[in-house]
Structure 1
Amino acid sequence: MADFGGTDLEAFRQEARTWLEANFPQELRNDPRRQMQAQMSTEFDPAWDAWRQAMGDKGWGTPTWPKEYGGGGLSRGEARVLAEEMARIGARNPIGGMGVMMFGPTLIEYGTEALKRQHLPGIIKGEVRWCQGYSEPGSGSDLASLQTRAEDKGDHYLVNGQKIWTSGANLADWCFCLVRTDPTKKHEGISFLLIDMKTPGVEVRPIRLINGTSPFCETFFTDVKVPKDQLFGPLNGGWTVAKRLLQFERDNISAGLGGGNIGAPAAVKTVQEVAKEYVGLDETGRLADSDLRRRITDHLIEAKSFQLTVRRAADEAKANQGPSAATSIMKYAGAKIAQDRNELMVEAMGGQGLGWEGEGFERDELATTRAWLRSKGNSIEGGTSEINLNVVAKRVLGLPDPGKG
């Protein structure tokens, strides 16, 4: 669809505004906390579920995805207008997760027609959850050394092995998984399989993190039968697909990190609001702690610059048919900014930012402490900062590989 402008976009704006007014539940308006919690919780919220169904049926949860699979089929300009109108009434997009952030865009680009028609509608409607089977206990930064095996058994593959840090695996319906189909080769011996998590032989064990939550899991595959038609991409050609998916992953993670709310479902206040509340203002109306004031200002400048850069990179990526290796720069910067934000929040709250549970602490204070602890993983998940810097050095700056002399 063409990226219409002028009166065409204004006509769409009116259409979007009318539809949102009719379909966004009144109970969710002016309640960002409830929307955040509903999106991240496993508990049923009838208003949020109605909103998810409405957006899923309309296809606007994935506004620019092809209409033939249930997506919105909107132009970039229309999608931008839709986002503006949703922000105007405080509506959060209820369609998300790894299916939208990572697997869906890769499926649109690399998938067969049969796989697109099988898997895209469930992602678009928010009815099917996906998890990522990449890292293994001995294959993290060196992902291509993975050892989970998929043996050809005629009409199916037999999968045996273990994955680690599989986010949301305990809630997922499907897993996009890297497996070794040729043990004689490294990168060229990897294939990409789609595994139904209800298949016998799949076992998931949640991992408890320092902040008390368990978003990550260990996933075990023991004689798991996967139909041949769930091979995604060429046999032994999964590495190319996997790298493309990682670009989408880092692109989306960095965009989320820039907002500073990753891992903080209850955080609705800005860092400056928290600082004013706990530190107070001086006689001129400025934050009383001049050093903290300077560091918060530096942080806000970095965050705004980052958000503008992400927006520009997104436009460039769409023009060039997808994200590039530069997403590693965004992921690195986004992780640092998110961690800085959480540390500033805890510092501004003083002793009230050190609570874990019990009396003497407000709910927001406890949530801020846990968000600070959770943010420690921002520089690890989706590619460690160290590996991202290596990618930037080699693929963006063109520097020589020190390991090759």
Structure 2
Amino acid sequence: MELDDFRADVRSWLAEHLTGEFAPLAGTGGPGREHEHLELRARWERELGAAGWIGLGWPEPFGRGAGIPEQVAFFEEYARAGGPGRLSHIGEYLLAPTLIAHGTPEQRQRFLPPIARAEELWCQGYSEPGAGSDLAGVQTRAVLEGGEWRITGQKVWTSLAHIADWCFVLARTGEGQRKHGLSYLLMPMDQPGVQVRPIVQITGTSEFNEVFFDGAVTAAGHVVGVPGDGWRVATSTLAFERGVATLGQQLGFARELESIVERSRANGTFDDPLVADRIVAAWAGLQGLRHHALRTLSATEPDPAAASVAKLLWAGWHQALGELAMAVDGPAATVLRDAPYELSDAQRLFLFTRADTIYGGSNEIQRNIIADRLLGRARR
């Protein structure tokens, strides 16, 4: 199928389906708004799955085998249509590529079809109170007993754990150096040994959580790769996390910037040269993010620092966008509107983006990775 025909099919399908019961979802579920319409968005995910839009870029026979241009076209049309924030993205864009690369045939057969149908949602069990950006410092432990892994420990900042059916957990299963002795386990969330506690953010919402494991269990065969190889598998997941899906993220950023420009024109702040300069700088920065992503995706040789560069670039850019949103609204941005006193879009964006330079690997960690992998910093 020609790219233009594919794009037209995506646009047509979205126009036909993002209506009726799904009409309230348009533009919802973005950063700081993940709490919106959870049940309806879960049904929307199943609608996407039934139409074959989940797993679009997975290689055949696991998915549709669509190339980068088709995947970019899908993200662009989805953003233009106001498609809601995705609930199945952790399973689709993080776990599924990891299983395709490192999983057994049995694991692929068991887990990929439910992800493609949006019947099972996933969360990521990496960060811990003492090991946020320092993934090698994980202390959650798992012991193989009687054909089951028994997991004890704590994870934190676990997005969507409160609605997830499964979690991929990085746990320490052996001794040795920090990067060794880790295993990548697939664990069901609905069991007595798992406790989820939502973390209230500065926005007043809670899309991420603390997760406690007190003897939680999973089958012996639910280890991806071999026991002790979890570091390699986990870092490959991080590479997938910053792959083609980042283009969809950037299109969401573009929609936020467009909204800010519209407000600026409406309230007259666009006539202020200082505000206009910041808007132009934001637009230019967004083009840089897009070109970096496209260059990385089309590269014939892997760039060991590309993922960290991407995270470093978008985190600072998005945080500055939140500050711009407040500047455009002026003094009124510091005051809550009338009852029920909910945050405005600008206030929510500003508050949520305070965390952009911390979660997903802090800016300081990303600079260390770039120094090590790209510039060859000597080990101390």
Cα gap change, 1:390 to 1:345, in 2 (>3 Å)? same
Task: Give the alignment's TM-score, normalised by structure 2.
Answer: 0.87
Residues 110-145 of structure 1: CA deviation (Å, up to 9, x unaligned)? 111111111112222222211111111122233212
Distance 1:387 1:144 in 2: 12
Alignment-derived partner of residue 283 in structure 1? none
Distance 1:389 1:259 in 2: 25
273, 290, 306: which one aligns with 2:262 = 273
Alignment-derived partner of residue 66 in structure 1? 59
Cα gap change, 1:354 to 1:254, in 2 (>3 Å)? farther
Is residue 2:127 matched to residue 1:135?
yes
Q: Tell me by how many angstroms 1:58 deviates.
A: 2.7
Distance 1:176 1:184 in 2: 22
Is residue 2:348 matched to residue 1:370?
yes
32, 36, 41: which one aligns with 2:36 = 41
**Partner SS, residue 33 of structure 1:** coil
Alignment-derived partner of residue 342 in structure 1? 322
Residues 376-395 of structure 1: CA deviation (Å, up to 9, x unaligned)? 11111111010001111111
Cα gap change, 1:268 to 1:186, in 2 (>3 Å)? closer
Cα gap change, 1:114 to 1:253, in 2 (>3 Å)? same
Cα gap change, 1:68 to 1:383, in 2 (>3 Å)? same
284, 306, 310: which one aligns with 2:289 = 306
Distance 2:69 2:284 in 1: 27
Alignment-derived partner of residue 325 in structure 1? 305
Distance 1:85 1:136 in 2: 36
Alignment-derived partner of residue 362 in structure 2? 384
Q: Tell me by how many angstroms 1:353 deviates.
A: 1.1
Residues 82-127 of structure 1: CA deviation (Å, up to 9, x unaligned)? 4555566555685642112321211111111111111112222222
Cα gap change, 1:385 to 1:253, in 2 (>3 Å)? farther
Distance 1:323 1:170 in 2: 35
163, 171, 181: which one aligns with 1:179 = 171
- The answer on whether the counterparts of 1:63 and 1:72 sit within 8 Å (CA) in structure 2 is yes
Distance 1:396 1:160 in 2: 36
- For 1:310, give the aligned amino acid: A
Cα gap change, 1:374 to 1:84, in 2 (>3 Å)? closer
Q: Tell me by how many angstroms 1:195 deviates.
A: 0.8
Distance 1:392 1:80 in 2: 26
Distance 2:111 2:202 in 1: 34
Distance 1:52 1:370 in 2: 25
Residues 359-387 of structure 1: CA deviation (Å, up to 9, x unaligned)? 597x6x62321221110111111110100
Bigger Cα displacement from structure 2, 378-387 vs 352-361: 352-361
Q: Report the count of equivalent residues.
A: 379
- For 1:157, give the aligned amino acid: W
Q: Tell me by how many angstroms 1:185 deviates.
A: 3.7
Distance 2:205 2:124 in 1: 19
Is residue 2:289 matched to residue 1:297?
no
- The answer on whether the counterparts of 2:197 and 2:211 sit within 8 Å (CA) in structure 1 is yes
**Partner SS, residue 27 of structure 2:** helix
Cα gap change, 1:10 to 1:385, in 2 (>3 Å)? closer
Sequence identity (%):
32
Q: Which runs of 5+ in 2 are unaligned?
A: none
Residues 313-365 of structure 1: CA deviation (Å, up to 9, x unaligned)? 2232xx55x7743110010110111011110110111122113454597x6x6
Alignment-derived partner of residue 46 in structure 2? 53
Task: Give the alignment's TM-score, normalised by structure 1.
Answer: 0.82
- The answer on whether the counterparts of 2:315 and 2:356 sit within 8 Å (CA) in structure 1 is yes
138, 155, 177: which one aligns with 1:146 = 138
Residues 190-205 of structure 1 mapped to structure 2, 5 A cutoff:
190-205=182-197
**Partner SS, residue 345 of structure 2:** helix
Distance 1:90 1:385 in 2: 30
214, 225, 234: which one aligns with 1:233 = 225
Cα gap change, 1:103 to 1:125, in 2 (>3 Å)? same
- The answer on whether the counterparts of 2:142 and 2:172 sit within 8 Å (CA) in structure 1 is yes
Alignment-derived partner of residue 100 in structure 1? 92
**Partner SS, residue 178 of structure 1:** strand
Distance 2:184 2:286 in 1: 36
Q: Tell me by how many angstroms 1:245 deviates.
A: 1.0
Is residue 2:380 matched to residue 1:395?
no
Q: Which runs of 5+ in 1 are unaligned?
A: 281-286
Distance 2:156 2:86 in 1: 27
Distance 1:16 1:275 in 2: 32
- The answer on whether the counterparts of 1:102 and 1:245 sit within 8 Å (CA) in structure 2 is yes
Residues 222-261 of structure 1 mapped to structure 2, 5 A cutoff:
222-251=214-243, 255=247, 258-259=250-251, 261=253
- The answer on whether the counterparts of 1:178 and 1:191 sit within 8 Å (CA) in structure 2 is yes
Q: Tell me by how many angstroms 1:207 deviates.
A: 1.0
- The answer on whether the counterparts of 1:192 and 1:233 sit within 8 Å (CA) in structure 2 is yes
Question: What is the RMSD of the two structures over their aligned residues, measured on CA atoms?
Answer: 3.2
